[in-house]
Amino acid sequence: MSRRIVIVGNGPAGHRLAELLGARAPGTDVTVLGAECEPAYNRVLLPSVLAGRLTAEATYLAQHPEGRVRVRTGVSVASIDRQQRNVRTGEGVVLPYDHLVLATGAACFLPPLRGLADEEGQPAKGVVALRTLADCRLVEDRLPVRGRIAVLGGGVLGLEVARALTERGYGVEVVHGGAHAMDRQLGPAAGALLEGALDGLRVRVLAGRTATAWTGDRLALDDGSSVPADLLIVCAGVVPETSLARDAGLRVGRGVVVDEYLRTSDPRIHALGDCAEVGGEVSGLIAPAWEQAEVLAGVLTGEPRPYTGTRTITRLKVRGVDLAVIGVGEREVAGAETVVLTDPSRGQYARLSVLDSQVVGAVLLGFPDSVAAVGQLFDSGAAAPNDRLSLLMGRAVAGPAPDPGALPGQTVICRCSNVTKNDLATAWLRGAREEAELAQATRATTGCGGCRGSVREICQWLRTKHDQPDADAGRTGEEPDRPVDRLSPSHPRRDAHHDPVPELLAP
């Protein structure tokens, strides 16, 4: 009998793991059980759906090739029997496993606010807690014709959602308990400039105010004022989905506790993505979920390597604002040297932290030309140039830009959608010859957009290489007009199932 792996959760983490197992362990019986009724999709793209820039279908992740993975959508797992090694679904179906993987993600946090939830703990009338495509449809159904919208939570997601709705013509007020917008990532100076920029885009941030009650048509605040709203969208953080693990007696902290091989306290059960707590941290970001899927695929196919963390770069997906938070962002690092550059009249702020010549963190607001170079230094760990100011001004490049032809095929170009150079080459060979077509085929550039310059360079390289097969596969000389992200070979990953097209696909 073949080995049975059951994955609970069909989000990005569960889907990617299944894809890798399907490709690398063909004899294994892989089943994914997902509570949502949709095919797997990329949650990161939901603000673009709300803005009306992407359809729901455009967020779907690639289907597994026929016969490799069994996916059951609309199926919720209700319990785990660790002795018998099986799971029971909500409908009472029992599925045995040899290895079980929890990829149950996270749920929206509903703050304990009078009137916000109904008796069953679900969002009350006029309230949507945004996490899923179904939630986006709810927002769509409830959008007032000419009414007022409030967002609770001025972190990354709350701001992205608010801006998505102002793109549709609404004015949105964001109520945020922290001292300023994105206070978890930004200090007061950058926060104030960000709020100013958002104000110009019809996103008004009311920071430092605690919401006390939702009355159905207004959000009451602790200073006695209130925000009238026909629709309230809650983006106040997430809670890792740990109930299955807890009920099964697994070790649970903030998330399901796993070691560096993503093993829970039961060696037959693993966890990854938003539900997992690794080294005391729960991530809540997509890049660690993609990377953990790679690590776990290795562990389950006899090629174990430990998960050692993910270098994260967060780009705010807000049209009209260019903000990147790299590594530790503004957090103080003992012994680090910091350079701060600010021009309030132009809404620009940059802060760079360098420790032992390496970039450990940066916040770049209104510095699109330096994001690529600073991000590349952070990714590669290469020594930062001594002229830090030039680096921040986008004048000092971090060495020559990598030649697209020389990049390994598995280099991840788009972090939001986990698209490699080879994925782009494959799409190009299947007929996607323009950047827009590559974007449509692979979803690259449709998240934060930070990879747009890289995709353009690769598209140019593919065209040159295809038209003149003997030509030097290097850069074509035409620089992207705004190099938002230079090619960075920092995240190699192995492809799951692509047809080999040898001339353009790099090893």
Which residues lie near ligand FAD (CB under 6 A)?
8-14, 33-36, 43-44, 46-47, 76-77, 103-106, 130-131, 157, 241, 244, 273-274, 284-287, 289, 317, 447-448
Identify which of residues 226 and 314 has a Cβ nearer to ligand FAD in the complex.
314
Strand partners, 348: 343
- Measured from the CB atom, the residue of 80 and 377 that comes closer to ligand FAD is 80
- Side-chain-side CA neighbours of 467 within 13 Å: the count stands at 8
Q: What is the gyration radius of the CA atoms in the chain, in angstroms?
A: 23
Q: Name the minimum Å distance from CB 219 to ligand FAD.
A: 20
CA–CA separation, 25 and 239 (whole Å): 32
Q: At what angle do helices 188-199 and 156-167 cross, to 10 degrees?
A: 20
Smallest separation, CB 94 to ligand FAD (Å): 14
Q: Which is closer to ligand FAD, CB of 285 or CB of 340?
A: 285
**Least distance from ligand FAD to the Cβ atom of residue 307, Å:** 14
DSSP-derived secondary structure letter, 499: -
Least distance from ligand FAD to the Cβ atom of residue 199, Å: 22
Of 10 and 376, CB closest to ligand FAD: 10
Q: With respect to ligand FAD, which residue has the nearer C-beta, 221 or 285?
A: 285
Provide, rounded to whole angstroms, the least separation between the CB of residue 159 and ligand FAD.
11
Query: Which CB sits closer to ligand FAD, 328 or 398?
Result: 328
Min CB(95)–ligand FAD separation in Å: 11
DSSP states along 256-295: EEE-TT-B-SSTTEEE-GGGEEETTB---SHHHHHHHHHH
- Within 13 Å of residue 55, how many CA atoms lie on the same side as its CB? 3
Angle at 455 between CA 10 and CA 287, to 5 degrees: 35
By the 8 A CB rule, do 415 and 451 touch?
yes
Q: Which is nearer to ligand FAD, 364 or 425 (CB)?
A: 364
CA distance 312 to 375: 10
For residue 235, the minimal CB distance to ligand FAD (Å) is 8
Q: Which of 404, 389, 426, 392 is nearest to 480 (CA)?
A: 404
State the DSSP code for 65: P
